[in-house]
């Protein structure tokens, strides 16, 4: 799956000369947490987040009147508060790349740019979470079996063969390394009429550490 499959294509943008007051109203009216900053031809120049706006706006505890506060925010420009170093992705990048960049940079969204650095979309952590939920099978009734197994070639094939022989469809399989010799395997499947497959897995020598059922 690529970025283009789940990104938001209609992106609200701002330019460097707009005021902080304009940006705050724009973000509030459209429920936005961040807005890309572009020039007259749509090339990405920076990004402004709700945190940037909050830090730059007069405090609610300020003695300034509403008129005075709005005047100051009207004088402050986007170019004065925007972040110029922006993490970006391309439309043909993999979703895994986006997830890694969001995690590594501790950010909530990434602008999508074309080969000319023009903004063509934006992808958020929520977009990635939706894909993750779908991939892991959390959007359907299923049973998750957690197994600790020796990390060796053929383990997944052996487990898959047990499910194949019973005619049970595997919804998803996720693995992670535990200690260098052991790998935790999470298998999600519809076991509505096949719960006895659990004993077959144990009989094959696998250590099942958890069984949980998800009903949606």
Profile the chain (216 residues) by mean pLDDT over runs of 10 residues.
Answer: 93 93 91 94 94 74 59 77 94 95 95 96 94 84 90 92 91 89 91 85 93 82
Question: Cβ(214)–Cβ(144) under 8 Å?
Answer: yes
Pick from 51, 53, 40, 52: which is nearest to 14 by CA? 40
pLDDT at 67: 61
What domains does the chain contain, in order, with CATH numbers?
A: 3-132 (3.10.580.10), 137-214 (3.30.70.260)
Cα–Cα dist 164/142, whole Å: 17
pLDDT at 116: 95
Total Cβ atoms within 10 A of residue 68: 12
Question: Cβ(99)–Cβ(77) under 8 Å?
Answer: no
| Secondary structure E strands in 66-153 | 109-113, 119-124, 142-150
In this prediction the pTM is: 0.76
- 182 phi and psi, to 5 degrees? -120, 140
């Amino acid at each position: 799956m690529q970025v283009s499959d789940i990104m938001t294509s209609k992106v609200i943008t701002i330019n460097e000369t707009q005021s902080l007051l304009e940006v705050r109203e724009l973000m509030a009216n459209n429920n936005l947490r961040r807005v890309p900053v572009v020039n007259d031809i749509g090339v990405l120049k920076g990004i402004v987040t709700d945190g940037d706006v909050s830090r730059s706006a007069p405090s609610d505890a300020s003695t300034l009147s509403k008129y005075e506060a709005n005047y100051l925010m009207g004088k402050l420009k986007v170019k004065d508060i925007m972040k110029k170093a922006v993490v970006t992705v391309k439309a043909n990048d993999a979703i895994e790349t986006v997830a890694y960049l969001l995690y590594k940079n501790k950010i909530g969204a990434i602008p999508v740019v074309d080969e000319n650095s023009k903004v063509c979309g934006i992808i958020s952590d929520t977009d990635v979470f939706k894909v993750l939920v779908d991939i892991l099978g959390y959007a359907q009734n299923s049973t998750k079996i957690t197994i600790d197994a020796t990390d060796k070639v053929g383990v997944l094939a052996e487990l898959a063969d047990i499910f194949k022989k019973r005619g049970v469809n595997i919804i998803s399989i996720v693995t992670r390394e535990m200690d260098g010799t052991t790998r935790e395997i999470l298998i999600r499947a519809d076991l509505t009429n096949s719960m006895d497959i659990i004993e077959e897995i144990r009989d094959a020598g696998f250590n099942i550490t958890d069984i949980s059922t998800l009903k949606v």
